[in-house]
Amino acid sequence: MNLSLSVDSWTTTIHARPLGKLFDFKEVYQYRDLLRMFVKRDVVTFYKQTILGPLWFLLQPLFTTLIFWFVFGRLAQLSTDTLPQPLFYMAGIVCWNYFSECLNRISSTFTTNSALFGKVYFPRIVIPLSVVISNLVKMAIQWLLFALIYLLYLGRGFAVGVTPYLLLFPLLIVIMAGLSLGFGLLFTSLTSKYRDLVFLLTFGVQLWMYATPIIYPLSSISLKYRYLMILNPMTSVVETVRLGLLGVGTFSWSYLLYSVVFTLLLLVLGVFLFGRVQRNFMDFV
């Protein structure tokens, strides 16, 4: 032992009620390799257990787009802001898939990992973070598919154009990640004790999609109700993504700012609750 250590040189102290840091960046950084391993595990095991492997990442948005194209585009003839319908739907679907999939998986963090959490300590937040990151890989593949279809339309002479708002793309992805993380942490913290909230979430996410301009543009909503739509923090994100990629969409800096502030507040709340629940979670299950 190093004798120069003073009496107070404890490196770890476990208290009943730690004067909590909201988020222990240092600790999470120490476990960065674990984060990487979880991301790798997510992606790699997806390959190994399925016949089609990463092809599923593509089939899912492709088929959803086809269905939406048929049902909402052809049958219901909803407006797509003058955009080619497949591109319009697909841009929304890729965004929404990322958000909803992260949200669903993070919401069950405690229940699906209880066996692991019961055996060993690591900062629990690593698991939700790994979900957000591994789904980024998936989303990237889906955007590649989108790009292919995009090129197809360009080749056929459609005047679709990228706008400078595309530069906001990284921020938009961060907002989506933050929203799904925030809501997910909130839900997993609450459902660890009150299981019935799981049902609320599963159909809630389905309904939520219809409250987000995925199958219709925000511009088709009358000004009277538009502020209601804007309250949904995903609305401005999806609209801005479309504006950046396809050149048509409703955009306002204030809408975007609202989403950013909403995300930050939500994250603080989610991380706070998650931190409280993780300390005694094993006692309830």
Chain residues that interact with other proteins, rule: CB under 8 A = 1, 5, 7, 9-16, 30-31, 33-34, 36-37, 41, 44-45, 48-49, 116-122, 193-195, 279-284
Least distance (Å) from other proteins to the CB of residue 197?
A: 10
Output 20 or 161, the one with its CB closest to other proteins: 20
The closest alpha carbon to 106, from 124, 127, 88, belongs to 127
Q: How far is the CB of 205 from other proteins (least distance, A)?
A: 23
Which two structure tokens, joined as six digits, stand for 282?
A: 């094993």
Instruction: Kindly tell me which of 24 and 66 has the beta carbon lying closer to other proteins.
Output: 24
- Our CB check for other proteins shows the closer of 11 and 77 to be 11
Please identify, using beta-carbon distances, which residue of 14 and 51 lies nearer to other proteins.
Answer: 14
Closer residue to other proteins (CB): 21 or 36: 36
Q: How far is 218 from 251, CA to CA, in rounded Å?
A: 10
**CB contact set of 98 (below 8 Å; sequence gap of 6+):** 135, 136, 138, 139, 176, 180
Least Cβ distance, residue 264 to other proteins (angstroms): 27
Q: Which two tokens stand for residue 270?
A: 């989610």
Nearest approach, Cβ of 195 to other proteins (angstroms)? 6
User: Which residues have C-beta within 8 Å of that of residue 5, sequence separation ≥ 6?
Assistant: none
With b meaning 16 or more CB within 10 Å and e meaning fewer, what string describes 210-240? eebbbbbbbbebeeeeeeebbebbbbbbbbb
CB of 33 to other proteins, least distance (A): 4
